[in-house]
Amino acid sequence: GAVVSQHPSRVICKSGTSVKIECRSLDFQATTMFWYRQFPKQSLMLMATSNEGSKATYEQGVEKDKFLINHASLTLSTLTVTSAHPEDSSFYICSARKMGFEGPYNEQFFGPGTRLTVL
């Protein structure tokens, strides 16, 4: 199997607070994890690529100081939304790729997502 979990599944917070979202690969090791954001009725937009033991690579237009990513182990990456504002309200989804895979395509396995609402 290849199961990815996210915690929490839903969070509501006040404007100005920080929120941490965890992404775990439960039955495999992942050197690379991806963080996506999805606004209502829109597609997934890649925010950043997280590599274990190194700094994340952020997509253009994503503020790295606002969306802090830590990939401290081969099974865990965290996304912290700092000083959250209502416009950060969104569905955040992570995905993970298996370490050491040698096939033609290293599939990304998605977590169930975290719905963030900032009041």
Residue 105 binds another protein, judged by CB under 8 A? yes
Closest CA relative to residue 6, chosen from 97, 110, 87:
110
Residue 45 binds another protein, judged by CB under 8 A? yes
Q: Can you tell me whether residue 61 is helix, strand or coil? A: coil
Distance CA(86)–CA(13), nearest Å, equals 9
Residue 47 binds another protein, judged by CB under 8 A? no
The binder of another protein chosen from 18, 29, 83, 106 (CB under 8 A): 106
Q: Check: CB of residue 105 under 8 Å from CB of residue 98.
A: no
Q: Check: CB of residue 51 under 8 Å from CB of residue 31.
A: yes
Residue 25 binds another protein, judged by CB under 8 A? no
The distance of closest approach from Cβ of residue 10 to another protein in the complex, given in angstroms and rounded to an integer, is 11
Binding site for another protein (CB under 8 A): 4, 32, 34, 41-46, 49, 57, 93, 95, 97, 104-108, 110-113
